[in-house]
Amino acid sequence: MSTAGVFAQSDAILFARVQAGDEKVMGLLYDLYSSVVYSIALAVVSSTDNAEDVLHETFMQLWREPTSFALRDGSLKASLATSTFRRAVQVRDKYQAAAFTASKNKEETL
Protein backbone atom coordinates (compact mmCIF):
# COMPACT_ATOMS: atom_id res chain seq x y z
CA MET A 1 0.00 0.00 0.00
CA SER A 2 1.28 3.48 -0.85
CA THR A 3 2.03 6.09 1.79
CA ALA A 4 -0.99 8.10 0.61
CA GLY A 5 -3.13 5.00 1.01
CA VAL A 6 -1.91 4.51 4.57
CA PHE A 7 -2.68 8.14 5.46
CA ALA A 8 -6.10 7.91 3.83
CA GLN A 9 -6.88 4.77 5.79
CA SER A 10 -5.64 6.39 9.02
CA ASP A 11 -7.70 9.52 8.34
CA ALA A 12 -10.79 7.41 7.75
CA ILE A 13 -10.30 5.65 11.09
CA LEU A 14 -9.66 8.91 12.94
CA PHE A 15 -12.62 10.57 11.25
CA ALA A 16 -14.89 7.69 12.28
CA ARG A 17 -13.71 8.16 15.87
CA VAL A 18 -14.51 11.89 15.70
CA GLN A 19 -17.98 11.02 14.47
CA ALA A 20 -18.31 8.73 17.49
CA GLY A 21 -17.42 11.65 19.81
CA ASP A 22 -13.84 10.71 20.73
CA GLU A 23 -12.34 13.86 22.29
CA LYS A 24 -8.81 12.44 22.41
CA VAL A 25 -8.84 11.99 18.65
CA MET A 26 -9.81 15.64 18.24
CA GLY A 27 -6.68 16.58 20.16
CA LEU A 28 -4.60 14.35 17.93
CA LEU A 29 -6.15 15.83 14.77
CA TYR A 30 -5.51 19.33 16.09
CA ASP A 31 -1.87 18.43 16.70
CA LEU A 32 -1.59 16.91 13.22
CA TYR A 33 -3.39 19.53 11.16
CA SER A 34 -3.63 22.84 13.05
CA SER A 35 -0.47 24.26 11.48
CA VAL A 36 -1.82 23.55 7.99
CA VAL A 37 -5.21 25.04 8.83
CA TYR A 38 -3.62 28.13 10.40
CA SER A 39 -1.24 28.65 7.47
CA ILE A 40 -4.06 28.54 4.95
CA ALA A 41 -6.20 30.89 7.02
CA LEU A 42 -3.36 33.37 7.53
CA ALA A 43 -2.53 33.39 3.82
CA VAL A 44 -6.11 34.35 3.02
CA VAL A 45 -7.06 36.74 5.83
CA SER A 46 -3.61 38.30 6.48
CA SER A 47 -4.41 38.80 10.16
CA THR A 48 -3.21 36.59 12.97
CA ASP A 49 -6.36 37.24 15.02
CA ASN A 50 -8.66 36.34 12.15
CA ALA A 51 -6.53 33.33 11.22
CA GLU A 52 -6.79 32.06 14.79
CA ASP A 53 -10.57 32.55 14.66
CA VAL A 54 -10.77 30.55 11.42
CA LEU A 55 -8.60 27.82 12.96
CA HIS A 56 -10.87 27.61 16.00
CA GLU A 57 -14.07 27.66 13.94
CA THR A 58 -12.82 24.97 11.57
CA PHE A 59 -12.01 22.52 14.36
CA MET A 60 -15.19 23.37 16.25
CA GLN A 61 -17.19 22.58 13.11
CA LEU A 62 -15.34 19.28 12.75
CA TRP A 63 -16.24 18.44 16.35
CA ARG A 64 -19.86 19.61 16.25
CA GLU A 65 -20.76 18.66 12.67
CA PRO A 66 -18.35 16.01 11.41
CA THR A 67 -20.83 15.02 8.70
CA SER A 68 -20.29 18.44 7.10
CA PHE A 69 -16.78 17.26 6.15
CA ALA A 70 -16.40 15.00 3.16
CA LEU A 71 -13.15 13.08 3.05
CA ARG A 72 -11.71 14.05 -0.31
CA ASP A 73 -9.88 11.02 -1.66
CA GLY A 74 -9.93 9.71 1.91
CA SER A 75 -7.90 12.67 3.15
CA LEU A 76 -9.08 14.58 6.20
CA LYS A 77 -6.22 17.01 5.64
CA ALA A 78 -7.62 17.92 2.21
CA SER A 79 -11.11 18.28 3.60
CA LEU A 80 -9.89 20.53 6.42
CA ALA A 81 -7.87 22.58 3.93
CA THR A 82 -10.89 23.11 1.69
CA SER A 83 -13.15 24.02 4.60
CA THR A 84 -10.52 26.38 6.01
CA PHE A 85 -10.02 28.14 2.70
CA ARG A 86 -13.76 28.68 2.23
CA ARG A 87 -14.22 29.94 5.78
CA ALA A 88 -11.20 32.25 5.50
CA VAL A 89 -12.50 33.74 2.24
CA GLN A 90 -15.82 34.45 3.94
CA VAL A 91 -14.04 36.17 6.83
CA ARG A 92 -11.81 38.18 4.50
CA ASP A 93 -14.78 39.26 2.36
CA LYS A 94 -16.76 40.25 5.45
CA TYR A 95 -13.96 42.48 6.72
CA GLN A 96 -13.28 43.97 3.30
CA ALA A 97 -16.98 44.79 2.87
CA ALA A 98 -17.07 46.37 6.33
CA ALA A 99 -13.97 48.43 5.57
CA PHE A 100 -15.41 49.56 2.24
CA THR A 101 -18.70 50.58 3.88
CA ALA A 102 -16.86 52.46 6.61
CA SER A 103 -14.73 54.35 4.08
CA LYS A 104 -17.82 55.19 2.00
CA ASN A 105 -19.60 56.49 5.09
CA LYS A 106 -16.56 58.55 6.02
CA GLU A 107 -16.41 60.07 2.52
CA GLU A 108 -20.11 60.94 2.66
CA THR A 109 -19.73 62.77 5.96
CA LEU A 110 -16.84 64.89 4.66
As averages over each run of 10 residues, the pLDDT of the chain (110 residues) reads 53 90 92 96 96 97 91 84 96 76 59
- For residues 83 and 61, the answer to whether their CB atoms sit within 8 Å is yes
Query: Which residues, in sequence order, are CB contacts of 53 under 8 Å at separation 6+?
Result: 91
The C-alpha atoms of residue 29 and residue 59 are separated, in whole angstroms, by 9
Confidence (pLDDT) at 99: 60
Confidence (pLDDT) at 110: 55
Confidence (pLDDT) at 82: 94
What's the topology of domain 3-109?
Rna Polymerase Sigma Factor; Chain: A (1.10.1740)
Confidence (pLDDT) at 10: 86
The count of residues in the chain is 110
